Structure 1
Amino acid sequence: MPKSPRKRALSSPHDALFQWTFSQREHAVGLLKAALPSSLAAAVRWSTLRVEKSSFVDRALRSRHSDLVLSARIGDGRAYFYVIVEQQRDVEALMVFRMGLYMMRLWEQLVRDQPGLKKLPPIMPVLIHHSDTGWTAARAFQDIVALDGPERTALLPHTPCFELRLIDVSGGRAGDLVEQALTALGKVVLWSLSVSGDDARLEREIVRIAAALDEVLQAPNGLAALEALLRYLVATHARFSVRKIGRLLEKAAGPRAQEAIVTTLDEIERRGERRGRAQGRAQGRAQTLLELLTARFGAVPAEVSARILAANEAELVAWTARVLTAPTPEDVLVEDGKRPAPARRPAARKRARRV
């Protein structure tokens, strides 16, 4: 049974929910069957679908984009499906360019891993978008290249040419998506992404997913799915209390779901309290360590203070034990008693001797 995305949900709730759901083969198959053109979906051998352990989104953009790479057999070869879900609520004009970069990185990895490759496998780019306006930018790469006038016809053959498969869930209703192909959890997750941060829509539209939510809760991993969903809704609707979100879900799913929802909410709150107590202990230890360092060495260097304030409780315990023996504040934080070697200064040039 897959576990819910507890740690990742704290730093990236969109990524945590999307990855947890669609890294499960059953839900990934449903997503692609719903997203692909019918002729292509009919050609895929779905029993061969697998999740690839790759991500190509730049570190600086991971708060805005989540990616998932899937592959399956089509005919005699394997095709790849590069899925990006956007985490911002605006339209990025050059998104098709970013998708092209990520596709090139995937091809680069495939060539590196298979040195004898003579031809590149196909990649289908799929973008899941939600915004207040809906998608308004270009879908095709050639449409973002400034080619105008009579020269356009001559230059187009030398310009990369591909088009995004766009799934626009803006407004809660997915365009270009065969919703019947999605699993119940897939429907609930895409709807949850579409109402992210919009409290009024969450309250107004939650009844639309009532049947799907009830089906999710009756599945073998229903409690894990419920916890993942609750954590996401709590993280993306900060003005609603945990209990209010629970009541909204109870209303949508009906009385049979009440016990499961209450049990899950209680567990989430207990974990939150334990995490809060642990963070409180760590903060207290950090302040004590800083006071001890100040008493012994005077002013504590800014980089040492920053490391202490960001440390976990185990690190703080170990560092506090070194305060009385370490010769400098920096030595208190050294791991295994070994300080990193100082950077070498460039050798001074010798003056040329005058003859």
Structure 2
Amino acid sequence: MIQQKTKKRRAVNTPHDALFKACFTSLQDAAGLLRHIVPAELASTVDWSSLALEPTEFVSPQLAASRCDLLFSASLLEPKADSGERLFFYVLVEHQSTSRDDVLLRILGYLQRLWEWHHQHHRQRPLVLPSVVCHAVGGWTAATRLHQLLTPQPRAVPGLDPRHVPDFEPIFYDLSQVDDSTLQQVQVSAACMLIFWVLRDSRQIEQLLLRLPAWIGVIRQALTSEGELKIYLQVQWYLQNVLSDANYRLFKEQLNGMVPEAEEVTMLYVDTLAREAQERGMAKGMAEGMQQGMAQGMQQGMQQGMQQGMQQGMQQGMQQG
């Protein structure tokens, strides 16, 4: 039986953030995501092989724990662009269940701090393309451009040219409006495709279970490599934290019925990780023990040498005297 409103399994600060970053800090998967959400003409002018992950913590360290964002840069292929110029891609992941107008203001504040930092350290302000990956229930309904937040609207004022009022419109990629086949065409790993799916559907258990059969092939693909298994485990961890206990058990029952090998494969992988961690711990303990023993031995040797030297010196002095 599906539980509609129950207490979540355990409290986790940012399970959405950890899940998204686990996959899209991979440059190959990040390139696949960005190529999918930016306009096709723009995608063709970017050298995606040059994509690099840029730090974001320096912009606002106090917000780093409460914000899921990623910053990338890539070289441009456009001949008119000066050699060495790079385009920055700022990706904000908005996990709120309802749309929020303050997202645009947060992006604007971030861009301002980013430009200030780059001008201070590099004497330039990079071109930045902001985008929002969102999965609000029912779709994104809040403002999508800065002018929509203003009262009155710039276009409603006679004689006012809207160009004179600051404005911008990020790319919004609304997962709630994207169907399974489109998500499965994004050029990312199978495990990352699963992230799109669970972010989109996990708030509604009925929808999650309804769409499960369409994702069986992707799940099987994610079980075939160690790198993808690691992400797959995080998908399972995420579902444990956002679903109730009863709903998670229901999901696992249906999953195991459709993909019976999933449980065995994941358990074997978990056992392997545990064994490797234990071996690393033992190796570390042995290394630390050897270092400690050598240090103690050297200290004892020095003390004994000093004592013997003093005794011999005193004896020789007494004999000569």
**Letter matched to residue 163 of structure 2:** P
1:187-226 → structure 2 map (5 Å cutoff): 187-226=193-232
Counterpart in the other structure of 2:242:
236
Alpha-carbon distance between aligned partners in 1 of 2:64 and 2:99, rounded to the nearest angstrom = 15
Counterpart in the other structure of 1:12:
14
Alpha-carbon distance between aligned partners in 1 of 2:248 and 2:184, rounded to the nearest angstrom = 32
**Letter matched to residue 130 of structure 1:** H
Q: Does 1:43 align with 2:45?
A: yes
Deviation at 1:30, TM superposition (A): 1.0
Counterpart in the other structure of 1:341:
none
Equivalent position to 2:169, from 163, 175, 194: 163
Closer, same or farther in 2 for the Cα pair 1:176/1:258, shift >3 Å? closer
Deviation at 1:113, TM superposition (A): 2.1
3-state DSSP class of the match of 1:180? Answer: coil
Alpha-carbon distance between aligned partners in 2 of 1:108 and 1:178, rounded to the nearest angstrom = 39
**Letter matched to residue 196 of structure 2:** L
Equivalent position to 2:126, from 111, 121, 137: 121
- Of structures 1 and 2, the larger Rg is shown by 2
Counterpart in the other structure of 2:147:
142
Counterpart in the other structure of 1:31:
33
Q: Does 1:81 align with 2:106?
A: no
Counterpart in the other structure of 2:266:
261
Write out per-residue CA displacement over residues 218-277 of structure 1, whole angstroms, 9 at most, x where no aligned residue.
13413212211111111111334765444343345x2343411344678999xxxxxxxx
Deviation at 1:182, TM superposition (A): 3.5
Alpha-carbon distance between aligned partners in 2 of 1:21 and 1:190, rounded to the nearest angstrom = 11
Q: Is the 8 A contact 1:168 1:175 kept in 2?
A: no
Alpha-carbon distance between aligned partners in 2 of 1:174 and 1:113, rounded to the nearest angstrom = 44
3-state DSSP class of the match of 2:194? Answer: helix
Q: Is the 8 A contact 2:154 2:165 kept in 1?
A: no
Segments of 5+ residues of structure 2 without an aligned counterpart are 1-10, 78-82, 275-321
Alpha-carbon distance between aligned partners in 2 of 1:202 and 1:125, rounded to the nearest angstrom = 29
Alpha-carbon distance between aligned partners in 1 of 2:247 and 2:162, rounded to the nearest angstrom = 54
Q: Does 1:247 align with 2:253?
A: yes
Of structures 1 and 2, the one with the larger relative CO (CA 8 A, separation 6+) is 2
Length-normalised TM-score, structure 2:
0.70
Write out per-residue CA displacement over residues 111-150 of structure 1, whole angstroms, 9 at most, x where no aligned residue.
1221x32xx2211111011122211122222232233566
Alpha-carbon distance between aligned partners in 2 of 1:168 and 1:57, rounded to the nearest angstrom = 26
Q: Is the 8 A contact 2:154 2:162 kept in 1?
A: no
Counterpart in the other structure of 2:105:
97
Deviation at 1:74, TM superposition (A): 1.3
Identity of aligned residues (%): 27
Q: Is the 8 A contact 2:183 2:196 kept in 1?
A: no
3-state DSSP class of the match of 1:160? Answer: coil
Alpha-carbon distance between aligned partners in 1 of 2:273 and 2:257, rounded to the nearest angstrom = 19
Counterpart in the other structure of 1:186:
192
Deviation at 1:103, TM superposition (A): 1.6
Closer, same or farther in 2 for the Cα pair 1:152/1:260, shift >3 Å? farther
Length-normalised TM-score, structure 1:
0.64
Deviation at 1:157, TM superposition (A): 2.6
Q: Is the 8 A contact 1:67 1:85 kept in 2?
A: yes
**Letter matched to residue 206 of structure 2:** A
3-state DSSP class of the match of 2:245? Answer: coil
Counterpart in the other structure of 1:133:
138
Write out per-residue CA displacement over residues 303-325 of structure 1, whole angstroms, 9 at most, x where no aligned residue.
xxxxxxxxxxxxxxxxxxxxxxx
Closer, same or farther in 2 for the Cα pair 1:39/1:88, shift >3 Å? same
Q: Is the 8 A contact 1:90 1:132 kept in 2?
A: yes
Deviation at 1:97, TM superposition (A): 2.1
| Residues matched between the structures, number | 257
**Letter matched to residue 139 of structure 1:** T
